[in-house]
C-alpha cells in the first residue's frame, strides 16, 4: 500500500506544482539579426533580463530551482529603469560571451537601447528587448552563431535586405553552420524538420504544463487504449487544424482569450472525470472543440519564432509531430506511474478522482489568474 500511495503521490505532486513551474519557466531567447547593405548589423534579443543577470541558465528549467533564485526574485521587483541600470552594468559580460563571429572573428557590439516592461505579475516572467549593433568586417563573407550553454537555448532569426526571413532553433550551447552574409543558403529539409520537431516536443515537455494537464485528464478517465485513442485522435485533429489556420493567418485570437479558455478546458475534462467513469458520446466532441483552442496556443510559439513562409508546411508538420511525441511521452509516463494498478477495484477512488481533483484546482487557478489577476 505504501508503494501505491508513493506512486500516486508522485503524480499528484507533479500536478500540484505545475503552476509554479509554468510561472517561472526559463524560455529560449529569441534573437533577430538584421544585416544592412552598408555592412552594419543590429541584433535584437527578446529575453529574460532578470534571469541573465541572476545567472540562471539552461541547467534550470524553473528559476526557483536555481541557487540565485532569491536574487532573481529581487530583480523581478525592480522598476524598468532600475533593472535597465543593473543590466547595463552586466551587459559587457553577456556580450563578450555571445558567439556572433564573421569569418571566424568576433566583432564589437554595443547596447543601443532597451525596452523593459513595467513591473507586473511577479509570478510571470518579464521578457525584455535588448538592442545591440555593430559593424560587419569589410572582407567578411560568412558568419556563425553560438549562444553559450549557460544562457540556455536560443532562436536566431536572420533578416537580409530584400530576402525572406531565415530562422533556426539552437539547443543550449548549439553552434550554427556558416551562414552566407549576402544570400541565404537553403538548409537541408531534414535538419529544419528536426529543429521544428524539437520545438514542438519541448513545447509539451517540459514547458507546456497546461497541455500536459489536459492530456493527463484524458488519460485518467479510461486507460484502455480504445477510448484513449478516440480522445487523443480528436484532440490531435483539432489542434492540427487551428495550428495550420493560425500559421497561415486564417484565424487569430488574442492570447487573452485563448489562454483562459485552455484553462477552462482543463477544468472541464478533470471535473467530468470526477462525475463519470466512462467515455460518453459527447466527450470526443468536446475534446475536439477544446483541441481547436490548444492549436491556437501552439501556433503562438511558431509565430513568435517567426516561421519563414517557405517553411510553413514543413514547420507545421514537424512541429505537430514533435507535439504528438510529447503527448505520447506524457501518456507513457503516466502509465508507468499508475498503470500497474489500472485493474484494481480501488483505482478510480484512489487515483482517478484525487488526481482529477488536483488538475481541476490547477485549471481553475489558471482560469482566475488569466482573467482576473
179-224 pLDDT tens trace: 999 877 777 888 888 888 988 888 888 777 888 998 899 888 876 7
Q: Tell whether the model's pLDDT for residue 6 goes beyond 50.
A: no
Grid cell locating 72: 532573481
Distance between CA atoms of residues 16 and 346, nearest Å: 22
Arithmetic mean of pLDDT, 131-146 = 95
Q: Tell whether the model's pLDDT for residue 7 goes beyond 50.
A: no
User: For position 353, what pLDDT does the model report?
Assistant: 93
**Element housing 338 (H / E):** helix 312-338
The model's confidence at residue 121, banded by pLDDT at 50, 70 and 90, is low
Closest CA to 338 of 6, 16, 2, 19: 6
- Are 197 and 322 spatial neighbours (Cβ–Cβ below 8 Å)? yes
Q: Out of 51-55, 123-127, 132-136, which region has the weakest mean confidence (pLDDT)?
A: 123-127
Arithmetic mean of pLDDT, 59-79 = 77
* Packing angle of the helix pair 209-221, 312-338 (nearest 10 deg): 50
Torsion sign, CA atoms 198, 204, 208, 211: positive
**Element housing 146 (H / E):** strand 142-146
Task: Write out pLDDT tens, residues 308-322.
Answer: 777 778 888 888 889
User: For position 229, what pLDDT does the model report?
Assistant: 81
The model's confidence at residue 96, banded by pLDDT at 50, 70 and 90, is very high
Arithmetic mean of pLDDT, 40-66 = 81
- Which residues in 206-217 are b (16+ Cβ under 10 Å) and which e? ebbbbbbbbbbb
User: For position 93, what pLDDT does the model report?
Assistant: 93
SS (H, E, C) 190-227: HHHHHHHHHHHHHHHCCCCHHHHHHHHHHHHHCCCHHH
Q: Tell whether the model's pLDDT for residue 298 goes beyond 60.
A: yes
Q: How high does pLDDT run on average in the chain?
A: 83
Most confident region among 103-107, 152-156, 278-282 by mean pLDDT? 103-107
Amino acid at each position: 500500500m505504501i508503494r501505491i500511495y508513493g506512486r500516486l503521490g508522485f503524480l499528484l505532486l507533479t500536478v500540484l506544482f505545475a503552476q509554479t513551474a509554468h510561472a517561472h519557466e526559463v524560455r529560449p531567447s529569441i534573437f533577430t539579426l538584421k544585416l544592412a547593405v552598408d555592412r552594419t548589423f543590429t541584433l535584437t534579443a527578446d529575453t529574460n533580463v532578470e534571469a541573465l543577470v541572476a545567472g540562471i541558465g539552461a541547467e534550470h528549467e524553473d528559476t526557483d530551482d536555481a541557487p540565485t533564485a532569491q536574487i532573481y526574485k529581487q530583480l523581478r521587483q525592480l522598476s524598468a529603469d532600475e533593472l535597465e541600470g543593473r543590466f547595463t552594468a552586466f551587459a559587457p559580460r553577456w556580450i563578450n560571451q555571445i558567439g556572433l563571429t564573421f569569418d571566424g572573428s568576433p566583432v564589437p557590439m554595443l547596447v543601443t537601447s532597451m525596452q523593459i516592461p513595467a513591473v507586473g505579475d511577479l509570478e510571470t516572467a518579464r521578457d525584455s528587448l535588448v538592442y545591440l549593433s555593430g559593424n560587419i568586417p569589410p572582407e567578411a563573407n560568412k558568419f556563425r552563431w553560438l549562444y553559450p550553454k549557460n544562457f540556455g537555448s536560443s532562436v536566431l532569426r536572420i533578416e537580409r535586405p530584400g530576402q525572406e526571413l531565415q530562422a533556426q532553433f539552437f539547443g543550449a550551447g548549439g553552434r550554427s553552420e556558416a551562414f552566407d552574409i549576402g544570400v541565404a543558403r537553403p538548409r537541408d529539409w531534414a535538419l529544419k524538420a528536426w529543429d521544428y520537431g524539437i520545438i514542438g516536443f519541448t513545447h509539451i515537455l517540459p514547458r507546456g504544463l497546461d497541455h500536459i494537464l489536459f492530456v493527463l485528464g484524458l488519460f485518467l478517465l479510461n486507460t484502455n487504449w480504445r477510448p484513449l485513442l478516440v480522445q487523443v485522435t480528436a484532440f490531435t485533429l483539432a489542434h492540427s487544424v487551428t495550428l495550420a489556420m493560425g500559421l497561415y493567418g486564417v484565424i487569430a485570437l488574442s492570447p487573452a482569450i485563448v489562454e483562459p479558455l485552455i484553462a477552462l478546458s482543463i477544468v472541464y475534462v478533470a471535473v467530468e472525470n470526477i462525475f463519470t467513469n466512462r467515455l460518453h458520446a459527447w466527450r470526443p466532441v468536446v475534446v475536439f472543440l477544446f483541441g481547436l483552442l490548444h492549436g491556437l496556443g501552439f501556433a503562438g510559439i511558431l509565430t513568435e519564432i517567426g516561421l519563414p513562409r517557405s517553411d510553413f508546411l514543413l514547420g507545421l508538420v514537424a512541429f505537430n509531430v514533435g507535439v504528438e511525441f510529447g503527448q505520447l511521452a506524457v501518456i507513457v509516463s503516466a502509465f508507468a506511474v499508475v498503470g500497474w494498478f489500472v485493474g484494481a477495484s480501488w483505482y478510480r477512488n484512489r487515483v482517478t478522482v484525487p488526481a482529477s481533483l488536483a488538475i481541476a484546482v490547477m485549471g481553475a487557478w489558471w482560469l482566475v489568474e488569466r482573467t482576473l489577476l
